[in-house]
Amino acid sequence: MNFDEAFKLVVGHEGGFTDDAKDTGNWTSGKVGIGKLNGTKYGISAAAYPNIDIKNITLDHAKEIYKRDYWLKYHCEKVPSDARFSYFDALVNSGPGGKTRQGAVIWLQKALGVDADGIIGNKTIAALNSANGAKLAMMFNGHRLMFLTQLNSWGVYGKGWAARVAKNLIGE
């Protein structure tokens, strides 16, 4: 799967403008009730991009952001094709994560069995080069779902998150 194909699918998951006040991603601070409620559109959130006019962002601008800040920055092209879309989708939906926060890079590293430090370095790239793509996709999505089920907001958004991961697994 190339970037254009992946972008089309992720935007289909993300949809248009929303400003749900209960969703932390819709607030410029990333915390409910703090900052401005600027919303999310095409998966571009106020929490991640507090200085962008979210409501009026164009699809082309969103595509530029996705390519620069997710696809290229986190080496999506190096992930085996069976797991590539799940990884890209999780980068957009949950972020990359880091040493103290769960996210797509951490789940990828856990699935690969390498140090989960949130950095796509030489060890992670080497593990990707020898990974079984189907097994990696299964392990990656397992780590992603386990994380999502532990969130306090699972009761509100969990059904949608689980459906999103399921659609990824069946190729929709």
Q: Could you list the mean pLDDT of each consecutive 10-residue stretch along the chain, which spans 172 residues?
A: 93 87 91 94 94 96 97 96 95 84 94 95 96 95 94 90 88 73
Where do the structural domains in the chain lie, given as residue ranges? 1-73, 79-172
The encoded tokens of residue 62 equal 């969103």
Question: For position 75, what pLDDT does the model report?
Answer: 96
Question: For position 124, what pLDDT does the model report?
Answer: 97
Global pTM?
0.89
Question: What is the second-level CATH architecture of the domain 79-172?
Answer: Up-down Bundle (1.20)
Alpha carbons 124 and 18: distance in angstroms, whole number: 35
Question: For position 79, what pLDDT does the model report?
Answer: 97
Question: For position 171, what pLDDT does the model report?
Answer: 75
